[in-house]
Chains A and B, each alone.
Chain A
Amino acid sequence: AQKVTQAQTEISVVEKEDVTLDCVYETRDTTYYLFWYKQPPSGELVFLIRRNSFDEQNEISGRYSWNFQKSTSSFNFTITASQVVDSAVYFCALSEGPSGAGSYQLTFGKGTKLSVIP
């Protein structure tokens, strides 16, 4: 069965510091999809990135970067020069889809609460 582990429950950093959020996953499938979502206090999950298992290229988007390593089953997320607006709960998620019914249901980690202190 699939599983996502986010070992860091809470992280606090001072504004402008870099921070890395860890994500380790377990799956028996060779084709799978990894995601990061941001959940600000308002509650809505905001999509950040999707990665397919056969694409190990790291990705950078502005201050955000992602490091995908199949060898260690990790998909870590780094925020460079953190800002107060980055304060939120961040979730890593895995989809092994499609299921027999065609769904790509997501399995989420428990999330990491990031607090950026001004």
Chain B
Amino acid sequence: DTGVSQNPRHKITKRGQNVTFRCDPISEHNRLYWYRQTLGQGPEFLTYFQNEAQLEKSRLLSDRFSAERPKGSFSTLEIQRTEQGDSAMYLCASSLIPGGLKETQYFGPGTRLLVL
């Protein structure tokens, strides 16, 4: 049973650089979520995909952030022109329709980003 995987696990970059993270959901899961977690806080919702369609974005997702999920499988989250405030853990979660009673999100190990 393969869980959600994320790569890389850690990323250190200089301010102004672009970074891209990858998430591979559980294979039969068609919903995918991205969250961001800063130190001492709970995760905060960033965006949501159902299959390949990005259906919802949080106000936290600035114009420098873009996410894709081509073919409804893996997803990428790109941050352009990184800022020190982007330093956080980026978590991916997946779940399976039908939602409602059975909606449970399973999380990956996260990508920890440090912007210097």
**Dominant secondary structure of chain A at its interface with chain B:** loop
Name the segment of A14-22, A36-44, A63-71, A79-87 touching the other chain: A36-44
Residue A24 lies at the interface, judged by CB distance under 8 Å to chain B: no
Check A44–B43 contact: CB distance below 8 A.
no
Partner of B42, one of A33, A42, A110: A110
Partner of A106, one of B99, B105, B108, B112: B105
Which residue of the partner chain A has the closest CB to B110? A43
Check B107–A37 contact: CB distance below 8 A.
yes
Q: CB within 8 Å of A: which of B76-108?
A: 89, 91, 93, 95, 99-101, 103-108
Name the segment of B17-25, B44-52, B64-72 touching the other chain: B44-52
On chain A, which size bracket covers the interface? 20 to 34
Contact residues in A for B106 (Cβ distance below 8 Å): 47
- Bound CA–CA A45/B44 (angstroms): 13
Which residue of the partner chain A has the closest CB to B106? A47
Partner of B43, one of A42, A98, A101, A106: A106
Q: Which residues of chain B have a CB within 8 Å of any CB of chain A?
A: 31, 33, 35, 40-45, 48, 50, 55-56, 58, 89, 91, 93, 95, 99-101, 103-110, 112
